[in-house]
Every structure is written in structure tokens, then in C-alpha cells.
Chain A
Amino acid sequence: MTGARIAFDHVWMKFHRGEMHDSLRDLLPALARKALQRGPAAADLAEGDFWAVRDLSFEVLPGQVLGIIGANGSGKSTTLRILTKILEPTRGRCTINGRVGALIEVSAGFHGDLTGRENVFLQGAIMGLRSRDIARKFDEIVEFSGIEAFIDTPVKRYSSGMNARLGFSIAAHMDPDVLIIDEVLAVGDYLFQERAFGRISDLAESGIPVVVVSHQLDRISQLCTDAILLERGVPTFRGAPDDCIAAYVQPSPEAAGEGAAGAGAAEASGPIAFRSAVILDGADIRSGDWCTVRVEGVVHGHVAPTIDPLLIRVRSLTTGKVVFVSGLRQLGLELPQGRGFVANVQLQANLAPGSYLIEAASLDTLTRQNLAHSPATMLRVTDPGTFRGTAQLNARIEFEPAIRERAG
């Protein structure tokens, strides 16, 4: 559908901390109190209120895939609920043109006593599908879920994986004009996840506007054309997904404030400040290849012997974990004399395919505290097709001649 579009126009969302009036007994005194004193204006924060989303605006047009990332409590779920019309914003407006498909809570409508077949129709109807459309796509849905054999079994006997797979299959077979995706990329086992991700990629690439919320940063990096970083309800960064992810993953809390991706996000306390860290060979390399990271920095003062002035840290976006750290101290090297330095760090990417963030940092080896770090740069390791796993061990396989003789 042309004209399909998702737009947030200065959306604010207020929540109340603590309990709401749950019974009449609580309400009556509260009403009395309200009647006696002048209540605060509706748009302002009353006691115990807080903004879950503050002044969030974005527009997603056909062909765009917007990723929203952020820590728990940053307002992602609230944003999703506003997008799916479950919540109405306190201020501002959310506009969606076109039929909404939501890959959210894909099996929330299931009833345990009903069979898989009955639940497909029920859940489909809850998601806004017409019964005759479900009937038409029924075989496709069941085949995709891979639980044909159990389709006439009550879902209370399903494993949670089977539940989620069936739910995902229903949701994935809607023909939406716009698509909203929550953390459903982690559904089922490895193979099903790949299949589900493939399906989502197909939908995203079909040119409809898509909003994705996920903690699987590598998926965001693969899927999205744009990204927004939310922190305590405020969009603190927007731009290319990789830059956004870098801004999110960087460990220093103050770096997120302003110009997170800008050069020279330096902590004042250390003797070293980094200007940049750039991969010279381009961001995409094959697993097993070498790449060079060029790090530029400035030395402000005396580098104490307990300080490792330059180390390289590589973080996996799939898991968020550090997969590799090495520094001058560990390698037995010294920082050259002078006010500034440019270092070319050569790394062999013996890594599993995926996205990684590389940054340079200096560290106090006693307190294990980061003294400074460079802006992170994204490295994408592509699949050489020769192995699976989390590390490239460069397997070499040779046959001994003796075995051949014995076999012959």
C-alpha cells in the first residue's frame, strides 16, 4: 500500500508510580481529597507521576526499518504500546496509515484447552485477521510452525517453544501495511530463529514501514535502516543503526549525554584522550581475515605504571559480551614519547559471523576502571561458509596414508 506510514508527533506519556485506586474504598477518599484541594493541571506531573516517554518524534516511511533500542525501563515497551493503540499518549499524536501487523506477544490469545487448530483461528482473529483468510493460509501457517503432528492437540500440552512457534507463524502470515515487531526474534530453537528472522527480513524488505524493538543488537544492525536510542524516555541518539548501537553499548554513562558518537568522548580523569578509532579495511570482513584499526589519541599527563594506556576491546553485539581485550601492558609494549600518538592495531578476525564493536580504551589496572575510551566502531564479520560456532579455530584436516592402505 502506498502512503503507508508510521508517525510519532511529539509524543509524551505519563505514568503513575505506585498503586492506582483499585477498590472503591480507595477511590472515595481520593476523590474527596481532589475535590478539596485544587488538583494540578492535567499536563503537569502530579506527585508520583513520571514521564515514560518524553517528546518522542519519528516517521517511518515505506522501505524504512526503524530500530528502537535502549536499556530496560527506557520507554521501549511504552512506545510499542502507543504504536499498537493499547495506550493513548498523554500529549502528542501517533498516526499509523494502513493495516497494522504486530509481531508482539504472538501467543497471548491462546487458550490452553483449545487445540492448536482452534487457537490458530482465535489468535488470528485477535490479531485482526478474517476467518476466511486464516482458513486460506492455514496449511502455510502450520507448515511454517513445524508442528503439523500436534495441531489437533490442546495447546496446554505444548512446550513453550511450540506455543511460541505457532504464535509466530500466525503473526508472520498476516499481510500488514505496516509492521511492528517486539522481542519476538528470540522464538524457538536456533533453526526456527533463523527461519523467523528470514521471514521478518522478507517482510521488511518488501518495502513496508517497520518498527523493531529488540535487545538483540546484531539483529537490529542487520534489519534496520535507522535507529533511535531511548534513555529514560528521551531519544538520546538517532541515526544509522550501527552508530546508534555503538552509542548504546559504550560503557560510560556520561558519554550518552551529548554527542555520544562525536569524537573525543573522553573522561577527564585519565592522562589519555582518544580522538578516534577507525577500521581501515572497511567495516565488512570475512571471518579469518586481518583488519587494521587506526587509533588516534592525545597524552595529557603522566602515565602511571599501573595504567594501561592503550587497549583494544572487542564486544559481540549478539551477546553484548566482551570477546577480546588486549593492551600494551599485556603485549609488553610501551606508549611512544610525545603529546599525541597514532597506532595501527592489526587484528585477525577469528570470530563467528556477526557484528562486533571495537573500541580503544585506557584502563587503571588496579581499580579496573576505564579512564578513557574512543568512540566504538562496528566490525561486521561475514560468513566464510567454512565453520559454525563462536570462534574460528582454522581447522586443518589431513588423512594419514596408513589409513588409506588399510581401507584398501
Chain B
Amino acid sequence: MAQPRQRSMRSDLAEIIADFGRSRDLLTQLTLRDIRVRYKQAAFGFAWALVIPVTIVLAGLAVRVAISYASGHALETQQLARMAVKSIPWAFFVGCIGSATPSLVGNITLVTKIYFPREVLPIAACLAQTFDTAIGIVAVALVLPFLGVHASVQLLWVPVLLVLLWALAAAAGLFLSCANLFFRDVKYMVQVFLSFGIFFTPVLVDAPMFGPRFAGIIMLNPVSPILEGLRLAVVDQHNLLEPVFSQPGNWISWHPWYLVYSAIWAIGGLLLAALFFHRSERRFALYV
């Protein structure tokens, strides 16, 4: 009689989707809260949304100046465009993880006092970050023509890649917020990742610059194919369904399978993270 309910993956996923359906308004309000709180009493206002991407581009510029001096190749404006295109999604990814990870512990009074589907907390953090990113995307779109990049049909890849990135960020946010509630040192690991992740992801540099041996390794990072894809589609106007051959040696620096690889991480990760989150949700109040 008092048996615990049988759980199956399908019923859990149905529950998660139903929860989100019911809490649309809550998701909206929490997202608004996060956005409002970020911009209230902030001297720079919405300019803050650009501070991090601009800093990333400047850091990249520093790195590339050094590379160009060491290699003897001159710096091109296209390289600036490449960094600009990749800095916004990287800032988004880092921002999502940074704000989603503490989202449960930071709202602990809510989690222990009032019932609502807890998934909305990390997801709202990601949505608030999306708002910042939207400002960044508009800014980059305005700047790109001045850097010699013009519109092409390959821009149609951008929404696909952004959806994959969003799914990846949401998966990481769900998983890490939950893990951080159970183990508080997760927060510190995340900080390390946020500081050094940029060196293991082709943000400031492009994957082919690592050469045939190491480019493949850097592309194992599921974020790498998405960022490289954005660069190829937007700046190099390359169709992502076709491989890219790099010199010297005519090695393959981009292959459509990279995209599939990232998609598997994004979709599979989101499903698993949502399930993991949903199943540990009932223990949150106990473990806090």
C-alpha cells in the first residue's frame, strides 16, 4: 500500500515537461527577477552585458598579437571578427554555469519552505543570461560589417548552433546546481572551470591553429564544435555539412561529425541532467 511510486524514464520526463508547462509564469517571474536585480542600481546598466565579451575580445587580441609576432604573420581584421563571434557564446556559456550553479543554494529559503518545481531556478538563471546574450548578439551583428564580414546564407546555421549551445548550458546548469546543493565544493570546481575553461576551448584562438595532432583533442570539448561552427558559418561563410581542409598537409580541421558529436552531448546531456535533477529534487530539503 505504502509502496514508493514506480519511476520510469518516460514518466519522469513527462512529469518534467508537465512541471514546466504549469510553471511558465513562475519561470517568467524568476527570469525577470534575475534580470531586474542585475540591472537595478547598476551604474553601467545594459552596457554590462557587453563588458565580458569585450574583455574576452581584448584578451584574445593580446594573445593573437603575440602569436602574430612569433609566427611572423600579420594580424588581420577577420581575426578580430572571429573572436567577436565566439566571445559572445562563450560569455553566455560561462555566465549560465556561473549563475545556475549557485541558483539552488542561493534560494535556499525558497527550496526548504515552499514547493514548486525546482528545475525553474537554474533554467531561469540561464534565461536571464540569454537576455544579456541577446544584447551581445545585436552588438556583434552591428559591428561585423565594419570588420569586413557580410551576411550569407550560412547564417542559417546560427540558430541551430545557438540552440545546441543553450541545451548544453542548461544541461550543465541543471546538473551543477543540483550537485552544488549536495556538495558545496562543486562551486569551487566550477570557479576553476570558469577561469581556465577558455584555454581548453577555441575562443581566443581557432581550432586549426592547434595543428593536426591537437585540434582533434580540443574538439573533444563539446563546446568547441559549436564555437568553431559559428566562426565557420558567420565569418568564413562555410557550409558546415562540408569538411574543411587545412594547410599544411591538407588535414581535416572541420567535419560535420563534430556537429553531431556536440548535438549528442547537448541533447543527451540535457535529458540526463533533467532526469538526475528531477530524481534528486525530493531530497533537496533533506540535504541542504
* B254-288 at interface with A (beta carbon < 8 Å): 282-283, 285-287
Pair B2/A104 contact, Cβ less than 8 Å: no
Pair B114/A105 contact, Cβ less than 8 Å: yes
Is A128 an interface position by the 8 A CB rule?
yes
Is B40 an interface position by the 8 A CB rule?
yes
Pair A122/B33 contact, Cβ less than 8 Å: yes
A403 to B266, CA, bound (A): 91
Distance of A220 from chain B, by nearest CB (Å): 22
Q: Which residue of A lies closest to B188 (CB)?
A: A23
Pair B2/A10 contact, Cβ less than 8 Å: yes
Is A102 an interface position by the 8 A CB rule?
yes
Is A93 an interface position by the 8 A CB rule?
yes
Is A125 an interface position by the 8 A CB rule?
yes
User: A91 with B114: in contact, given A108-B109, A111-B33, A131-B28 (CB under 8 Å)?
Assistant: no
Distance of A189 from chain B, by nearest CB (Å): 24
Q: Which residues of A contact B286 (CB under 8 A)?
A: 15, 20, 87
Is A121 an interface position by the 8 A CB rule?
yes
Q: In the complex, which of the residues A21, A23, A93, A125 contacts B25, with contact meaning CB atoms closer than 8 Å?
A: A125
Is B115 an interface position by the 8 A CB rule?
yes
Q: Which residues of B contact A130 (CB under 8 A)?
A: 25
Distance of B112 from chain A, by nearest CB (Å): 7
Q: Which residue of B lies closest to A124 (CB)?
A: B29
Is B113 an interface position by the 8 A CB rule?
yes
Interface size on A, residues (CB 8 A): 40
Pair B1/A9 contact, Cβ less than 8 Å: yes
Stretch with Cβ within 8 A of B (4 or more), from A78-86, A233-241, A252-260: A78-86
Is A328 an interface position by the 8 A CB rule?
no
Binary per-residue interface labels of chain A (8-47) against chain B in the complex, 1 for a CB within 8 Å, 0 otherwise? 0110000100001111110100000000000000000000
Pair A9/B282 contact, Cβ less than 8 Å: no
Q: Which residues of A contact B112 (CB under 8 A)?
A: 81, 86
Is B245 an interface position by the 8 A CB rule?
no
Q: Which residues of A contact B (CB under 8 A)?
A: 9-10, 15, 20-25, 27, 81, 84-88, 91-93, 100, 102, 104-105, 108-109, 111, 113-114, 118, 121-122, 124-131, 154
Listed from nearest, the 7 A-B pairs whose CB atoms lie closest are A125-B29, A105-B113, A125-B26, A85-B115, A88-B282, A131-B25, A23-B185
